[in-house]
Structure 1
Amino acid sequence: MDTPDPGRTAQLELMIGARLRTRRRQLGLSQSDLAQRLGVSFQQVQKYERGANRVAASTLLTAAQALSTSISWLVGEEVSGRDDDDDVFRALSRPGALEILQAFNAIPDPRTRMALLALAREMAGGAAA
């Protein structure tokens, strides 16, 4: 019988947490809103989103229903299979990231979007180029 890899398990918890947070924020729900739907405290939702606590299977099912998604999506099975998907969801789970993406997508002029991208890259010290 194989023993679970603690590093892989921790990565899974981080990925699930990032996806929970991203989907919650897409729907405009607060941590308290989601906590109420899950029957847990908002502190528990914070721990799930940070990957500090494991999400029980029954809670994962309830979360998928509350967030109008599937368990498969929350655990990363309904994606293209690329290794960098987890990085994308972790980046989107940062405070303000989803809002900046929504604002960027709302800019109708492509030149203005590119100017904003250039500004962001400059502010990041060229790291995002």
Structure 2
Amino acid sequence: MAKVAIKTPQGDNLNPVDLHVGRRVAERRQALRYSQAQLAQAAGVTFQQIQKYERGSNRIAASRLWEIAEFLNVDLNYFFEGLGLPDGPEARMGGAPTKQTAEIARRAPELSVRNQKLVLDLIQQLARVSAETGAEIDV
């Protein structure tokens, strides 16, 4: 994987790996409905530091990532899933997961199995039409 820095409006060079890992930390934390302050307390840092980790502006040390993984109840590999794979989930979605995709995933278990299947069918239909036409569907 080629190392490419991303320029932010502030002029910072952010490493794509740090951005990806930070995004994954934020997604998991939000899925479990933990605040940044709760994660910070468990990791022994300030909530501001968690904000920097999640934005990718600060790197997470291996030992700290281990503590975060323990608190969020995930394997360390979770934070690196989809990284650097051209056919990974981010590539298939045309970018990083949004708050809406995380919310869909978080709320899906609240539905009955039948309704989960209906929602999945709807999403597949919308994706198919969008891929065929290259346009978004207005609702």
Aligned-residue RMSD, C-alpha: 3.5
**CA distance change for structure 1 residues 7 and 31 in 2, over 3 Å: closer, same or farther?**
same
- Structure 1 position 67, deviation (Å): 1.1
Give the aligned partner of residue 31 of structure 2: 26
**Contact in 2 for aligned 1:26/1:98 (Cα 8 Å):** yes
1:100 aligns with 2:104: yes
Q: What TM-score does the superposition give when structure 2 sets the normalisation length?
A: 0.63
Structure 2: stretches of 5+ with no match in the other structure: 7-13
Q: What TM-score does the superposition give when structure 1 sets the normalisation length?
A: 0.67
1:53 aligns with 2:37: no
**Contact in 1 for aligned 2:37/2:46 (Cα 8 Å):** yes
CA distance in 1, matches of 2:15, 2:68: 19
Out of 44, 47, 71, the position equivalent to 2:49 is 44
Counterpart code for 2:96: R
Give the aligned partner of residue 96 of structure 2: 90
CA distance in 1, matches of 2:19, 2:89: 9
**Contact in 1 for aligned 2:40/2:50 (Cα 8 Å):** yes
**Contact in 2 for aligned 1:14/1:50 (Cα 8 Å):** yes
- Structure 1 position 12, deviation (Å): 0.5
Aligned length: 117
**Contact in 2 for aligned 1:48/1:55 (Cα 8 Å):** yes
Higher relative contact order (CA 8 A, sep 6+): 1
Give the aligned partner of residue 75 of structure 1: 80
**CA distance change for structure 1 residues 126 and 101 in 2, over 3 Å: closer, same or farther?**
farther
**Contact in 1 for aligned 2:31/2:106 (Cα 8 Å):** no
- Structure 1 position 69, deviation (Å): 1.3
